[in-house]
């Protein structure tokens, strides 16, 4: 189900006109001097608020200000050159997570408790933890958004075999390494990724009786798409070419390995190409061909446009993005420039997936969080714990898939404002002070502007306040429960 | 009297509400008999749809032990014949009719089969031969032949075309964190993972404040209204105040919880018409095991869950139909990694009080060369929509099969009465 923009506004009762925004007291948005971690927020035209909701996991007040000052194009270019963005404070928070930097055999050793059962929790939990910290704190927001996108595209569930520790390597060496690089390199790295080979059973794909699992998903999900023009015969032939692609079990445990002895040396035909016997290079030549295939360009372009713009994705933008993909041999930045710079004006509201819902609440309100079990538990109940989607298609990107599970979102919203999340803190008095408003209605309006992009119409705002007052809330409770109410509201479920 | 909910369920609900610590009030969503709107259809069975995600290897679930080819194709994974004296008895297939047998992990389903409350339809499935999980699941949940069909789900269209006058927010639920695609449509459907967790936390004062803001904010939003309505109903069903009879043992799994909660909702008469449940993990390309192992554990969960559910709702079985399905079957021959690759023909089970049970329905196409299709897969001889269509028509009182399954004319196979 997709909403058009007018329905979206009707749904929320918001009037996101620039006139309404302009009527806000300028003092609300004045930056407060001093060492407060919070900063004031500026009014934002609806289109900018919507764009920022795609380029980030929910904009922090200072990001809003920066966006207004520099504009979409400069913002996108700066974010695409992510290596140049100083991320010191985020890196600092990641410091304790040693496993993020370890090689596969070190992670295997760490997990092997010798006298006890294998520890299958520590390593993947650190990865989940770090992932959420980065989503909340990294200033390289577009990079994090794309990291999540590719983590779905090349989905790996950590509870499959040794993926519990191999995914950490895949996350570092495949997804994050190439998230804004070349799709060809990304596909190539994923194909050689031990976590992927284990997840899709290629580590046991041997000559004589091949295992088709990875071969199929490599074409169906990772490159061509289910309508991309491959056949069951192609799946079987590619599976033969991939025989012997496996993972080391001794010495450098968990590294990629090509087992000559298990490789089917016969000739193969994949997608109309004759693949002469050539060991590991056979499947590599297919990976090259898949990365260059027009169906792949189309599939990736459409998927990106859907994630960033609208579902269904706008056909003309997809066509141009696919052209850019082909012209640049899969330069992800070039494709994103088309999707974002040309496409964002066409963007339609999209329902926030749970990670976006949670992270946007934390970021926009400037909450301090350890991204630990309290928050992770809510993500699990909302249905989007990282690296926990069992099937290789990744977490769904259809709005309708997520719309029927409001309860844990409401619970999270109120737990956050009521200070019930362990090691996650919200400075509501600080937000009230920084809003610059002199009374409760003013603060609520300012918070709505922060969280929903526009202040609430006064009649609606007063109705909300009255309803909470009627339930016996004092001034502080009213502020808390209404902030929770804004987070729980239909409008905040959309980005 | 214009019947809007059956006399039976009304009487049951009054006694049940009186007995338990549940509010004896007439819930607002229940149709008032005095003001019954026109053209209402009496409610049929509660439908429970169990989707085995990942393409379950049905040849090892209901084993064609009478077929020599089966053992040739599966030298290591094949489930031994029921009379194979070289194998321990608990590892052999459990004979059903001299030709088919249950996997030994389905032992708990045997009594239900013998009571003729469980039917099997073998070699059934969809026409789609993509062998893609995601395309097949999507088409099957939408109940369509190809992507051009309606985007809503077949259950969603069933709900939309059958006006039972039931406005319960629990008319249909998707057990888990995401509502199933099959449920999507014009009738709002919520996901329900845990009844025990479905409440706002805090003391009475805090709950009242949160509740009042939610009531205000969601006043005009159907999904939000539904969630609030469910919260109200479930509050009265808190399992800690409504304990299960101790003799019924659900497996300690998400699947067990989903069935247990479905039974709770049925027994509490809160308007449940459809419960959709997923059980995943069936994509067994590697080390699926035979009589024991990975898949055997999944089957044990399936059987223990269904058997507990069957016992739990024994008094309601006349008004319940459970169906299990999966997106397709797996290759007849095992692969080189002690698993099976994607195939075609699958199997469905139907359990209930009006099932032509104790029988394997459908034509068996055989496993010999020339009988298998494509890369060596079981053929489909019964369209899955024939089974679901017959259930809609006979058990759910819904004749709108043309809307539920557009482009397919279901043929009744005599699976239910």
Strand segments, DSSP code E, in B219-306 are 274-279
This model of the complex carries an ipTM of: 0.88
Pick B221's closest partner by Cβ from A213, A382, A490. A490
pLDDT score at B118: 98
Which string of b and e fits A45-71 if b means at least 16 CB within 10 Å? ebebbbbbbbbbbbbbbbbbbbbeeee
Asked if residue A36 is part of any domain, the answer here is yes
pLDDT score at B33: 43
Lowest mean pLDDT among B25-39, B111-125, B155-169: B25-39
pLDDT tens digits, one per residue of A440-453: 999 999 999 999 99
Q: Which two tokens stand for residue A360?
A: 């946007």
Q: Which of A188-202, A430-444, B31-45 has the highest mean pLDDT?
A: A188-202
Q: Hey, is the C-beta of B209 within 8 angstroms of any chain A C-beta?
A: yes
Q: Hey, is the C-beta of B218 within 8 angstroms of any chain A C-beta?
A: yes
Cα torsion through B16, B17, B20, B24, rounded to 10: -170
Last residue of a domain, one of A303, A318, A346: A346
A129 and A266 in a common domain = yes
| Closest C-alpha to A230, from A322, A186, A284, A294 | A294
Q: If you measure CA to CA, which chain B residue comes closest to A405?
A: B191
Is pLDDT at A15 greater than 70 in this prediction? no
At B1, the pLDDT band (50, 70, 90 cuts) reads very low
Asked if residue A410 is part of any domain, the answer here is yes
In degrees, rounded to 5, the angle at the alpha carbon of residue A210 between the alpha carbons of residues B135 and A237 is 70
Q: Please tell me the total count of domains within chain A.
A: 3
Asked if residue A71 is part of any domain, the answer here is no
Probe site for chain A from B142, B152, B217 (most A CB atoms < 10 A): B217
Lowest mean pLDDT among A13-17, A233-237, A261-265, A474-478: A13-17
A150 and A284 in a common domain = yes
Mean pLDDT to the nearest integer, B283-302: 96
Closest chain A C-alpha to B15 CA, distance in angstroms: 30
At B240, the pLDDT band (50, 70, 90 cuts) reads low
Distance CA B379, CA B234 (A): 45
At B238, the pLDDT band (50, 70, 90 cuts) reads low
A238 and A124 in a common domain = yes
Distance CA B147, CA B206 (A): 48
pLDDT score at B201: 86
Q: If you measure CA to CA, which chain A residue comes closest to B220?
A: A11
Asked if residue A72 is part of any domain, the answer here is no
Question: Which residues of chain A are within 8 Å of residue B197 when distances are taken between CB atoms?
Answer: 381, 407-408
Pick A406's closest partner by Cβ from B54, B133, B223. B223
A205 and A108 in a common domain = yes
At B242, the pLDDT band (50, 70, 90 cuts) reads low
Question: Which residues of chain A are within 8 Å of residue B213 when distances are taken between CB atoms?
Answer: 464, 467-468, 481-482, 484-485, 488
Mean pLDDT to the nearest integer, A212-216: 97
pLDDT tens digits, one per residue of A75-84: 999 999 999 9
Closest chain B C-alpha to A236 CA, distance in angstroms: 9
A110 and A31 in a common domain = no
Range of the domain at A150: 88-292
Q: If you measure CA to CA, which chain A residue comes closest to B185?
A: A1
Cβ contact B227–A220 (<8 Å): no
Cβ contact A382–B177 (<8 Å): yes
At A396, the pLDDT band (50, 70, 90 cuts) reads very high
- Residue A206 to residues A250, A283, B336, B393: CA-CA distances in angstroms? 19, 14, 7, 48
Asked if residue A388 is part of any domain, the answer here is yes
Is pLDDT at B62 greater than 80 in this prediction? yes
Domain boundaries, chain B: 46-195+245-404
Lowest mean pLDDT among A31-40, A327-336, B353-362: A31-40
The mean of the pLDDT values for chain A is 91
Q: If you measure CA to CA, which chain A residue comes closest to B55?
A: A391
Is pLDDT at A101 greater than 80 in this prediction? yes
Question: Which residues of chain B are within 8 Å of residue A212 when distances are taken between CB atoms?
Answer: 285, 335, 341-342
Cβ contact A383–B190 (<8 Å): no
Is pLDDT at A456 greater than 90 in this prediction? no
Query: With a CB-CB cutoff of 8 Å, which residues 183-202 of chain B face chain A?
Result: 183-184, 188-191, 193, 197-198, 200-202
Q: Which residue has the higher pLDDT, A91 or A28?
A: A91
How big is the A-B interface in CB pairs under 8 Å?
Answer: 169
Distance CA A40, CA B101 (A): 70
Mean pLDDT to the nearest integer, A141-148: 98
Percentage of chain B beyond pLDDT 90 is 83
Distance CA A222, CA A230 (A): 13
A433 and A312 in a common domain = no
A116 and A257 in a common domain = yes
Asked if residue A83 is part of any domain, the answer here is no
Is pLDDT at B246 greater than 80 in this prediction? no
Q: Hey, is the C-beta of B292 within 8 angstroms of any chain A C-beta?
A: no
pLDDT tens digits, one per residue of B160-208: 999 999 989 999 999 999 999 999 999 989 999 999 899 998 899 999 9
Mean pLDDT to the nearest integer, B139-165: 94
* B167 φ/ψ sector (left φ>0, alpha ψ -120 to 50, else beta): alpha
Is pLDDT at A102 greater than 90 in this prediction? yes
Distance CA B129, CA A226 (A): 12
pLDDT score at A37: 60
Is pLDDT at B32 greater than 60 in this prediction? no
Question: Is the distance from CB of B384 to CB of B325 less than 8 angstroms?
Answer: yes
pLDDT score at A38: 75
At B235, the pLDDT band (50, 70, 90 cuts) reads confident
Neighbouring C-alpha atoms within 13 Å toward the C-beta of A148: 30
Cβ contact A414–B216 (<8 Å): no
Last residue of a domain, one of A330, A346, A362: A346
A451 and A414 in a common domain = yes
Distance CA A364, CA B354 (A): 56
Lowest mean pLDDT among A104-118, B6-20, B92-106: B6-20
pLDDT score at A114: 72
Treating both helix axes as pointing N-terminal to C-terminal, what angle do A280-292 and A213-220 enclose, rounded to 10 degrees? Answer: 20
pLDDT score at A23: 34
pLDDT score at B20: 36
Q: How far is CA A124 from the centre of its chain?
A: 17
Is pLDDT at A115 greater than 80 in this prediction? no
Lowest mean pLDDT among A171-175, A249-253, A372-376, B36-40: B36-40
A314 and A245 in a common domain = no
Burial class (CB in 10 A: 0-12, 13-18, 19+), A323: middle
A173 and A121 in a common domain = yes
At B241, the pLDDT band (50, 70, 90 cuts) reads low
Q: Hey, is the C-beta of B180 within 8 angstroms of any chain A C-beta?
A: no
A98 and A187 in a common domain = yes
Asked if residue A79 is part of any domain, the answer here is no
Closest chain B C-alpha to A76 CA, distance in angstroms: 33
pLDDT score at B21: 35
A270 and A132 in a common domain = yes
Probe site for chain B from A232, A404, A479 (most B CB atoms < 10 A): A404
Mean pLDDT to the nearest integer, B361-376: 97
- Residue A332 to residues A79, A121, A301, A344: CA-CA distances in angstroms? 13, 33, 10, 17
Query: Would you state the CATH architecture of domain B46-195+245-404?
Result: 3-Layer(aba) Sandwich (3.40)
Distance CA A174, CA A167 (A): 10
pLDDT tens digits, one per residue of A350-369: 999 999 999 999 999 999 99
pLDDT tens digits, one per residue of B306-364: 999 999 999 999 999 999 999 999 999 999 999 999 999 999 999 999 999 999 999 99
Is pLDDT at B388 greater than 80 in this prediction? yes
Q: If you measure CA to CA, which chain A residue comes closest to B176?
A: A383
Query: With a CB-CB cutoff of 8 Å, which residues 66-125 of chain B face chain A?
Result: none
Pick B217's closest partner by Cβ from A383, A415, A464. A464
Q: Which residue has the higher pLDDT, B7 or A422?
A: A422
Cβ contact A411–B200 (<8 Å): yes
Asked if residue A69 is part of any domain, the answer here is no
Mean pLDDT to the nearest integer, A246-271: 96
| Closest C-alpha to B347, from B90, B71, B125 | B125
Is pLDDT at A31 greater than 60 in this prediction? no
At A5, the pLDDT band (50, 70, 90 cuts) reads very low
pLDDT score at B12: 38
Mean pLDDT to the nearest integer, A379-392: 96
pLDDT score at B42: 84
Cβ contact A410–B227 (<8 Å): yes
């Amino acid at each position: 189900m997709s909403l058009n923009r007018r329905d979206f506004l009707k749904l929320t009762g918001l009037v996101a006109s620039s006139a309404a925004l302009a009527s806000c007291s300028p003092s609300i948005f004045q930056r407060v001097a001093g060492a407060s971690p919070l900063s004031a927020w500026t009014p934002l035209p609806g289109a900018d608020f919507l764009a920022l909701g795609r380029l980030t996991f929910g904009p922090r007040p200072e990001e809003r200000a920066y966006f207004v000052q520099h504009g979409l194009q400069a913002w996108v270019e700066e974010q695409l050159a992510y290596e140049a963005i100083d991320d010191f404070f985020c890196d600092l928070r990641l410091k304790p997570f040693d496993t993020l930097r370890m090689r596969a055999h070190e992670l295997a050793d760490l997990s092997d408790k010798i006298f006890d059962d294998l520890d299958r929790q520590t390593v993947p939990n650190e990865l989940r933890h770090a992932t959420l910290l980065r989503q909340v704190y990294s200033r390289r927001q577009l990079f994090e958004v794309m990291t999540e996108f590719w983590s779905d595209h090349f989905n790996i569930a950590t509870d499959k075999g040794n993926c519990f520790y191999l995914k950490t390597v895949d996350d570092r060496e495949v997804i994050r390494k190439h998230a804004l690089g070349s799709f060809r390199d990304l596909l190539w790295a994923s194909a050689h990724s031990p976590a992927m080979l284990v997840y899709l059973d290629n580590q046991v794909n041997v000559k004589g009786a091949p295992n088709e699992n990875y071969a199929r998903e490599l074409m169906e999900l990772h490159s061509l798409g289910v309508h991309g023009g491959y056949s069951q015969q192609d799946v079987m032939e590619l599976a033969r070419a991939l025989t012997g692609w496996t993972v080391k079990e001794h010495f450098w445990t968990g590294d990629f390995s090509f087992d000559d002895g298990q490789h089917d040396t016969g000739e193969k035909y994949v997608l109309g190409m004759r693949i002469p016997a050539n060991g590991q290079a056979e499947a590599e030549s297919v990976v090259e061909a898949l990365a260059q295939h027009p169906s792949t360009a189309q599939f990736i372009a459409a998927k990106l446009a859907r994630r960033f713009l609208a579902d269904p994705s706008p056909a003309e933008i997809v066509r141009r993005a696919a052209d850019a993909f082909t012209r640049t041999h899969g330069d992800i930045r070039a494709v994103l420039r088309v999707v974002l710079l040309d496409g964002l004006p066409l963007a339609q509201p999209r329902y926030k997936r749970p990670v976006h819902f949670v992270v946007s609440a934390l970021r926009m309100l400037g909450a301090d969080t350890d991204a630990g079990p309290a928050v992770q538990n809510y993500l699990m109940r909302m249905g989007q714990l990282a690296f926990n989607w069992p099937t290789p298609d990744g977490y769904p990107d259809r709005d309708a898939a997520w719309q029927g599970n409001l309860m844990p979102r409401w619970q999270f919203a109120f737990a956050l404002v009521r200070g019930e999340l362990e090691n996650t803190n919200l400075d509501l008095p600080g937000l009230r002070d920084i809003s610059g408003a002199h009374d409760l209605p003013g603060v609520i309006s300012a918070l709505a502007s922060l969280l929903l992009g526009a202040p609430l119409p006064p009649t609606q705002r007063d109705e909300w306040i009255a309803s909470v007052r009627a339930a016996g809330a004092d001034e502080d409770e009213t502020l808390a429960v209404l902030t929770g109410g804004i987070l729980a509201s239909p409008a905040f479920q959309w980005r | 009297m214009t019947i809007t909910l059956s006399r039976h369920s009304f009487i049951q609900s009054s006694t049940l509400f009186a007995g338990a610590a549940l509010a004896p009030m007439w819930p607002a969503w229940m149709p008032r008999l005095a003001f019954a709107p026109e053209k209402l259809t009496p409610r049929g069975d509660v439908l429970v749809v169990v989707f085995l995600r990942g393409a379950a290897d049905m040849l090892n679930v209901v084993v064609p032990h009478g077929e020599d080819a089966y053992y040739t194709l599966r030298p290591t994974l094949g489930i031994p014949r029921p009379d194979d004296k070289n194998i321990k008895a608990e590892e052999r297939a459990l004979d059903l009719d001299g030709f088919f047998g249950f996997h030994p992990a389905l032992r708990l389903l045997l009594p239900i089969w013998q009571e003729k409350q469980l039917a099997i339809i073998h070699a059934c499935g969809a026409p789609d031969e993509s062998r893609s999980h995601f395309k097949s699941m999507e088409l099957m949940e939408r109940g369509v032949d190809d992507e051009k069909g309606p985007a809503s789900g077949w259950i969603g269209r069933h709900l939309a075309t059958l006006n039972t006058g039931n406005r319960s927010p629990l008319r249909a639920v998707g057990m888990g964190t995401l509502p199933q695609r099959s449920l999507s449509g014009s009738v709002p459907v919520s996901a329900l993972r845990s009844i025990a967790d479905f409440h706002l936390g805090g003391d009475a004062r805090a709950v009242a404040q949160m509740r009042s803001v939610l009531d205000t904010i969601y006043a005009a939003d159907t999904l939000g209204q539904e969630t609030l309505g469910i919260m109200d109903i479930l509050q009265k069903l808190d399992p800690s105040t409504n304990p299960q009879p101790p003799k019924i043992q659900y497996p300690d799994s998400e699947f067990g919880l989903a069935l247990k909660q479905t039974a709770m909702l049925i027994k509490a008469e809160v308007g449940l018409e459809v419960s959709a449940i997923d059980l995943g993990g069936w994509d067994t390309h590697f080390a699926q095991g035979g009589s024991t192992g990975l898949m055997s554990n999944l089957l044990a969960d399936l059987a223990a869950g269904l058997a507990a559910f069957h016992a739990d709702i024994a008094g309601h079985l006349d008004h319940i139909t459970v169906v299990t399905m999966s997106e397709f079957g797996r290759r007849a021959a095992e692969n080189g990694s002690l698993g099976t690759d994607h195939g075609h023909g699958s199997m469905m089970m139907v359990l209930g009080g009006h099932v032509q049970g104790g029988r394997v329905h459908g034509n068996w196409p055989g496993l010999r060369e020339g009988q298998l299709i494509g890369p060596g897969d079981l053929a489909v001889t019964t369209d899955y929509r024939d089974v679901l269509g017959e259930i809609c028509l006979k058990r759910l009182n819904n004749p709108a099969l043309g809307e539920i399954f557009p482009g397919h004319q279901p043929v009744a196979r005599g699976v239910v009465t």
